[in-house]
Amino acid sequence: MARTPVALSLAAAAALLLLAVSAAAGEDGKQQQQEQGQGQGYTQPAYRQPVSGLQPGYYQQSCPDMEGVVQRAVKKAIAADYTLAPALLRLFFHDFAVGGVDASVLVDAPGSERYARASKTLRGFDLIDSIKKELEEKCPRTVSCADILAAAARDASAQVGVDYWQLAYGRKDGRKSSMVDADQYVPMGRESVTDLVAFFESRGLNVFDLVVLSGAHTVGRATCAAVRPRLCGYQGTGKPDAALDARYADFLRRKCRSGGGDDAYVELDAETPTTFDNRYYQNLLHGMGLLETDQKLLPDSRTGEFVRELAAQPSLFSHQFAKSMARIGAVQVLTGNEGEVRLKCSAINGH
């Protein structure tokens, strides 16, 4: 998408601000973490630094229609059920959160990531399995599930209007998938900004990526269980979260009451729930961030400026979202002789 000089200068300003903010966040963050005792283990010593072993033409000879197969399947699935678009974005993020994009979230075995608390409402597994099946028929033992998931998330994003980005391939599938790791690392919506910053930085992403990627919550839904603690008796106050707009809180209380129990859903973006726009950021300006972690991005000095910037610049959001998603798909991945190409996405080979 062509970008205006205004957008460019704002992006440049954002980049400059980012450098200043990141430097400050490094110190402030550490200090706050120590003060608040919130070091929740978001460092992952076992996982590696960003690597660049991925190649754009990786399947050119071995499976030339790989991207076509994924794209057609994703397009068809989302046309039949729009909710699969947000579901695929989230699946990709959860996979990334534990050991980089290595398809560990797709393994269906006792004690695997899929059975973690954070995975309870993940969807899209069947679609990835069916794409893998088609690719196994066309190019046996060639295309990894991690690459399929990365392509599916990219295509789902493009389908809902995000700028298209070129993907490099060659990710391998992990041979480990641990519910305990997912429970420890995947953010659940109650973390502090310090914890979220630490989580992203430990994976080679920065504060701007955190704010931009949180914008995925401009589509999709959350369970009432995720929001209920904010609606009454917030942090032992006996009152709703003061950061929540009173009318919005009222709306949510009614929706969650009439809609049933904890498994009832509310839209993450109450204003334009099925449009991938920057309304998410505008909502934050009006106390209408659904998750606690969303709303906390506004008052925090490390993230607030970015929220305001993205609220003011629709095209900046779409462009930057694509860039941050591309980064998610490239950091800490397994390549070359690491990992394997699974035969079925739901099972580590030999299991």
- CB nearer to ligand HEM: pick between 68 and 259: 259
CB of 33 to ligand HEM, least distance (A): 17
Task: Identify which range of 42-50, 57-65, 66-74, 187-195 contacts ligand HEM by CB under 6 A.
Answer: 187-195
Residue number of the CB atom closest to ligand HEM: 220
By the rule CB under 6 A, 18 interacts with ligand HEM = no
**Residues 260-319 interacting with ligand HEM (rule: CB under 6 A):** 268, 291, 293
Taking the C-alpha atoms of residue 163 and residue 210, their distance in angstroms, rounded to an integer, is 18
By the rule CB under 6 A, 213 interacts with ligand HEM = yes
Q: Please say whether the beta carbons of 256 and 228 come within 8 A.
A: yes
Could you tell me how many residues of this chain bind ligand HEM (CB under 6 A)? 26
Task: Identify which range of 2-10, 100-108, 132-140, 215-223 contacts ligand HEM by CB under 6 A.
Answer: 215-223
DSSP 261-324: STT-EEESSSSSTTS-STHHHHHHHTT--SSHHHHTTTTSTTTHHHHHHHHH-HHHHHHHHHHH
By the rule CB under 6 A, 214 interacts with ligand HEM = yes
Taking the C-alpha atoms of residue 211 and residue 208, their distance in angstroms, rounded to an integer, is 5
- Candidates 121, 142, 202, 272; binder of ligand HEM (CB under 6 A) is 121
> What b/e string do you get for 183-201 counting C-beta neighbours within 10 Å, with b at 16 or more?
bebbbebebbbbbbbbbbb
By the rule CB under 6 A, 119 interacts with ligand HEM = no
**Residues 236-265 interacting with ligand HEM (rule: CB under 6 A):** none
- CB nearer to ligand HEM: pick between 322 and 334: 322
Both tokens of residue 302? 């490390």
Rg of the chain on CA atoms, in Å: 20
Give CA separation, 227 vs 156, 220, 230, 292, in Å: 26, 14, 6, 8
By the rule CB under 6 A, 87 interacts with ligand HEM = yes
CB of 141 to ligand HEM, least distance (A): 30
Taking the C-alpha atoms of residue 322 and residue 328, their distance in angstroms, rounded to an integer, is 10
Q: Taking the CB of residue 1, how many other CB atoms lie within 10 A of it? A: 10
319 is catalytic: no
Task: Identify which range of 6-14, 126-134, 142-150, 181-189 contacts ligand HEM by CB under 6 A.
Answer: 181-189
Alpha carbon dihedral 157, 159, 163, 166, in 10-degree steps, equals 80
- CB nearer to ligand HEM: pick between 86 and 240: 86
Taking the C-alpha atoms of residue 89 and residue 28, their distance in angstroms, rounded to an integer, is 31
**Residues 220-239 interacting with ligand HEM (rule: CB under 6 A):** 220-223, 226
- Candidates 11, 42, 69, 86; binder of ligand HEM (CB under 6 A) is 86
Exactly one of 94, 217, 319, 351 is catalytic; which is it? 94
> What b/e string do you get for 126-139 counting C-beta neighbours within 10 Å, with b at 16 or more?
ebbbebbebbbeeb
**Site for ligand HEM, rule CB under 6 A:** 83, 86-87, 89-90, 93, 121, 123, 187-189, 196, 210, 213-214, 216-217, 219-223, 226, 268, 291, 293
Catalytic sites, residue numbers? 94
